[in-house]
Amino acid sequence: MPKQAPPTIVRDIMSHDCYRVTGSASVSTLAEGLSLHRLPGAPVVDSSDHLIGFISEQDVLGKVIESLYLDHEAPLVSDLMRHEVLSVSPTKSIIDLAQEMLGAKPKIYPVTEQGRLVGIVTRRDVLNSILTMRRHQRSA
């Protein structure tokens, strides 16, 4: 029985059912979601799941501390999110994405099709996939 070929494109390794937030979510809600899902950040989408930004733990940490000490209402995600987001296509080669990751630093890449969020892929997903490719290559 032939071995199954290792994944070669982002669609094969991405998380399809991923955590996301809207711009109207509070930073407190976001922080709870990131903690629950053990993620360092999340894509920000509109009501039609179009990717409109990205927000990370680092983006919100100071504001969460500030709201705790000053008893302020935490700001909204839209107030702190980054609007310029590195995203990838589900048909992108895993090797090409790995090479891009050498220069770019995001830990999570939103995966989009026609502007809509269809999943996320992490550096860990890419690394695990490359290790699988390597094992497959050695056993061939």
Q: Which string of b and e fits 52-67 if b means at least 16 CB within 10 Å?
A: bbbbbbebbeebeeeb
pLDDT tens track for 77-126: 999 999 999 999 999 999 999 999 988 778 899 999 999 999 999 999 99
pTM (2 d.p.): 0.86
CATH of the domain at 27: 3.10.580.10
Number of domains in the chain: 1
Domain annotation covers residue 5: no
Q: Which string of b and e fits 93-108 if b means at least 16 CB within 10 Å?
A: ebeebeeebeeeebeb
Provide the pLDDT for residue 96: 94
Whole-angstrom Cα distance, residue 96 to residue 115?
Answer: 20
Task: Give residue 95's domain range.
Answer: 10-139
Give percent of the chain above pLDDT 70.
94
State yes or no: pLDDT of 2 exceeds 70.
no
Domain annotation covers residue 1: no
Provide the pLDDT for residue 106: 86
Q: Which amino acid is at 116?
A: R
Select from 66, 77, 73 the least CA-distant residue to 26: 77
Q: Helix 57-70 to helix 27-37 angle, to the nearest 10 degrees?
A: 130
